[in-house]
Amino acid sequence: MYEAYLRETETNREEITGLSDEIWDYAETAYREKRSMKALADRLESHGFKVERGLADIPTCFIATYGSGKPVIVIQAEYDALDGLSQESPVTEPKEIPGKTTGHGCGHNLFAGGSFAAALAVKTYLDDGHPGTLRFYGCPAEEGGAGKVFMVRAGLYDDVDAVVSWHPTDFSMVRTRPSLANVSVKYSFKGIAAHAGGSPEKGRSALDAAELMNVGANFLREHMDPAFRIHYAFLDAGGEAPNVVQAKAVLLYLIRATDSREVAELKRRVDRLAEGAAYMTETEVKIEVQKAYSNLITVASLQKVANEALQELAYPVPTEEDLRFAKELQKTMHLSEEKLAALPYELGARQPIPPKPHGGSTDTADVSWIAPTVQFHIGNWVIGTPGHSWQAVSQGKGRFAKEMMLYAGKAVAGTVMRLFDRPDTLEEIKAEHREKTKSGYICPIPPEIGPNVPEE
Query: What's the sign of the alpha-carbon dihedral 228, 360, 416, 380?
Result: negative
Per DSSP, which regions of 371-440 are E strands?
373-378
| 353: three-class secondary structure by DSSP | coil
In order of 59, 153, 154, 163, 440, the CA distances from 443 in angstroms are 21, 7, 11, 19, 10
pLDDT at residue 52 in the model: 98
Q: For residue 120, give the nearest of 418, 320, 412 by alpha carbon.
A: 412
Domain spanning 3-179+296-436 has what CATH number?
3.40.630.10
pLDDT at residue 402 in the model: 98
pLDDT at residue 37 in the model: 98
Residues with Cβ within 8 Å of 314's Cβ and at least 6 positions away in sequence, in order, are: none
pLDDT at residue 78 in the model: 98
pTM: 0.94
Query: What's the CA gap between 306 and 309, in Å, rounded?
Result: 5
Query: What's the CA gap between 111 and 378, in Å, rounded?
Result: 10
H runs (alpha helix) in 27-67 = 34-46
Q: For residue 318, give the nearest of 351, 348, 350, 340 by alpha carbon.
A: 348
pLDDT at residue 345 in the model: 98
Task: Kindly give the confidence (pLDDT) of every residue in the chain, 456 residues in length, as a single tens digit, with 9 standing for 90 and above.
Answer: 899 999 999 999 999 999 999 999 999 999 999 999 999 999 999 999 999 999 999 999 999 999 999 999 999 999 999 999 999 999 999 999 999 999 999 999 999 999 999 999 999 999 999 999 999 999 999 998 999 999 999 999 999 999 999 999 999 999 999 899 999 999 999 999 999 999 999 999 999 999 999 999 999 999 999 999 999 999 999 999 999 999 999 999 999 999 999 999 999 999 999 999 999 999 999 999 999 999 999 999 999 999 999 999 999 999 999 999 999 999 999 999 999 999 999 999 999 998 876 778 999 999 999 999 999 999 999 999 999 999 999 999 999 999 999 999 999 999 999 999 999 999 999 999 999 999 999 999 999 999 999 986
Query: What's the CA gap between 149 and 107, in Å, rounded?
Result: 21
Query: Is residue 1 packed enough to be buried (19+ CB in 10 Å), middle (13-18) or exposed (0-12)?
Result: exposed
> Contact, 119 vs 49, CB < 8 A?
yes
CATH topology of domain 181-292: Alpha-Beta Plaits (3.30.70)
pLDDT at residue 428 in the model: 98
Query: What's the CA gap between 119 and 347, in Å, rounded?
Result: 26
Per-domain residue ranges of the chain: 3-179+296-436, 181-292
pLDDT at residue 359 in the model: 79
Count CB atoms within 10 A of the CB of residue 173: 21
pLDDT at residue 306 in the model: 98
> Contact, 114 vs 409, CB < 8 A?
yes
Query: What's the CA gap between 89 and 137, in Å, rounded?
Result: 28
